Amino acid sequence: MIILDYQDRRPIYEQVVEKFRILIANGALSPGSQMPSVRQLAMELSVNPNTIQRAYMELEQQGYIYPIKGRGNFVADRKDIRRITRIAYYQELTKLVTQGRELGVEESEIVNIIRNCYREAGEHD
Amino acid sequence: MIILDYQDRRPIYEQVVEKFRILIANGALSPGSQMPSVRQLAMELSVNPNTIQRAYMELEQQGYIYPIKGRGNFVADRKDIRRITRIAYYQELTKLVTQGRELGVEESEIVNIIRNCYREAGEHD
Amino acid sequence: MIILDYQDRRPIYEQVVEKFRILIANGALSPGSQMPSVRQLAMELSVNPNTIQRAYMELEQQGYIYPIKGRGNFVADRKDIRRITRIAYYQELTKLVTQGRELGVEESEIVNIIRNCYREAGEHD
Amino acid sequence: MIILDYQDRRPIYEQVVEKFRILIANGALSPGSQMPSVRQLAMELSVNPNTIQRAYMELEQQGYIYPIKGRGNFVADRKDIRRITRIAYYQELTKLVTQGRELGVEESEIVNIIRNCYREAGEHD
DNA sequence: GTGGTCTAGACCACA
DNA sequence: GTGGTCTAGACCACA
């Protein structure tokens, strides 16, 4: 379900968070469905259960999942997911674009980069 | 000249690097001019000289400054700065846009965000 | 595993880097295997952990090792190692040969020196 | 006569030594001729006289120049120059080639690199 | 004066 | 357990 990249310099729990954010945001994990249990996922990834615990905590705080006592963790509702995803993404992008302005990068250059990303990705599909 | 944000969870040296990257990239520190000395800046920021040393090491590796033995550190040439700044920015933006795609954000939405950033900033000018 | 030469005028961390570059490049440390921990190596060499930390930072930047947060440092992949080793060696050699030209050393002399090195080494094997 | 490269990370005195080694070794400064005075050269290069003093000390130790009390420094005899140049160069090259062997670089590869250096340089002449 | 290296030792994040 | 950051302060090379 998830593959870790040990060359990645980020902490493992952060990678786990990011992978699930994507799986949840693009619908690969449907709203309301159950998340893999902490122990099971830890075993699959050969990782310390604390690490998965930490990742789930983060996902819960960000609103992607919610726990039910004694039953496990579940994917949040579609609307909530969409909302938080957009807000978080909007903030990050705004920050980076503002930074670009400070560095003297022109609007047209940035737009070009984006169009390229989408065009290239489209070709792979 | 520089203000540290102690709320910021990033290490101090990284904050210093980022501040100087902006000051250098947008021309506030002109090419060829001398950087504040390690010791002096350390005192101004009430920080250990080693921490500034580390920041300068990073800036040197990234190509923003170069040291002259026994004299101090100096801001790199205009062309070099422009080149490395663009490359770094391009990479960061590409990464974020790719992430956006994975999260299901549409191209047009992203372009809109950018246009907004520039429009708002333009109004402040 | 590693012996420091205190007569050597180079800084300790640089010696450590060089020793490991050789151990890694010639396969004495196999790709993917774990590096000695910072603290342990520091103790073995009777050196401050910061010094080893610095050496590992350098090795990481050069691509010989990569860190996994909370686990330790690991030797890079075989292909990466081969690539960076060749590039670094090529650059050093080119510099020295160019210097030889400037000093008036003839091409044939240099080639002779090399053949000698390999012949002598071959006899030892 | 000499141009310093402030981007060069080596200390200035070392650059001065290297430049003169080349000028002397390839005959641009003829044996027995007088070296520029410490003060004059320091002024020309906008450099501290101590720095030039240090460079001349080094050149003297290596045998490229010799001082005459009250008159200045002079370029050594042709034979001496040739001898010391070859010995020093031979040692450096041998070390690097040996290192190459340790890293698994083949004899033919090294010879190729050398031939390339000379061919390219020949084209510039 | 300048930066570069190093020690001794603390404290934090991550697994 | 692992590495990463930081302080306080010494000592060295270079200009």
Q: How far is the CA of A64 from the C1' of E14 (A)?
A: 23
Half-sphere exposure of C29 (CA within 13 A, CB side): 22
Query: Which residues 6+ apart lie within 8 Å of D123 measured at CB?
Result: none
DSSP H or E stretch at residue A51: helix A49-62
Residue D125 has pLDDT above 80, yes or no: no
pLDDT averages per 10-residue partition of chain A, 125 residues: 90 96 94 96 95 96 95 96 92 90 86 88 73
Give the helix ranges, DSSP H, for D63-106: 78-103
Residue D68 has pLDDT above 90, yes or no: yes
Nearest residue, CB atoms, A117 vs list B92, B97, B115: B97
| CB atoms closer than 10 angstroms to residue B45 | 19
What mean pLDDT is reported for chain B? 93
Q: How far is the CA of A13 from the C1' of E14 (A)?
A: 9
Q: Do residues C120 and D97 lie in contact, with contact meaning Cβ atoms separated by under 8 Å?
A: no
- pLDDT, residue B104, reads 84
Q: What are phi and psi of A4, to 5 degrees?
A: -90, 145
Nearest residue to F15 via alpha carbon and C1'? B70
Residue B98 has pLDDT above 70, yes or no: yes
Cα of B62 to nearest chain D Cα, Å: 14
Q: Which residue has the higher pLDDT, C122 or A36?
A: A36
Nearest residue to E4 via alpha carbon and C1'? B53
Which residues on chain D are in Cβ contact (under 8 Å) with B67? 9
User: A97: nearest CA in chain B?
Assistant: B114
In tens, the pLDDT along D81-111 reads: 999 999 999 999 998 998 888 888 889 989 9
Half-sphere exposure of D96 (CA within 13 A, CB side): 23
In tens, the pLDDT along D10-28 reads: 999 999 999 999 999 989 9
- Cβ contact, residue pair A6, C70, below 8 Å: no
Cα of B50 to nearest chain D Cα, Å: 20
Residue B125 has pLDDT above 70, yes or no: no
In tens, the pLDDT along C67-79 reads: 999 999 999 999 9
Query: Which residues 6+ apart lie within 8 Å of A119 measured at CB?
Result: none
- pLDDT, residue D2, reads 87
- pLDDT, residue D101, reads 85
- pLDDT, residue D99, reads 85
The helix/strand count (H/E) of chain A reads as: 5, 2
User: C69: nearest CA in chain A?
Assistant: A11
Residue D121 has pLDDT above 80, yes or no: no
- pLDDT, residue A125, reads 66
- pLDDT, residue B60, reads 97
Cα D84 from Cα D58, distance rounded (Å): 13
Q: How far is the CA of D8 from the C1' of E1 (A)?
A: 21
Nearest 5°: the CA angle A103, A108, A109 is: 55
Cα C77 from Cα C99, distance rounded (Å): 33
Cα D21 from Cα D17, distance rounded (Å): 6
Q: How far is the CA of C50 from the C1' of F3 (A)?
A: 11
Residue among C82, C77, C56, C51 nearest C67 (CA): C56
Q: Which amino acid is at C36?
A: P
User: Which nucleotides of strand E lie under 7 Å from a protein CB?
Assistant: 1-10, 13-15
Nearest residue, CB atoms, D114 vs list C92, C107, C118: C107
Task: Provide DSSP, chain C.
Answer: -----TT--S-HHHHHHHHHHHHHHTTSS-TTPBPPPHHHHHHHTT--HHHHHHHHHHHHHHTSEEEETTTEEEE--HHHHHHHHHHHHHHHHHHHHHHHHHTT--HHHHHHHHHHHHHHHHHH-
Half-sphere exposure of B19 (CA within 13 A, CB side): 18
Lowest mean pLDDT among A104-108, C39-43, D66-70: A104-108
Cα D83 from Cα D85, distance rounded (Å): 5
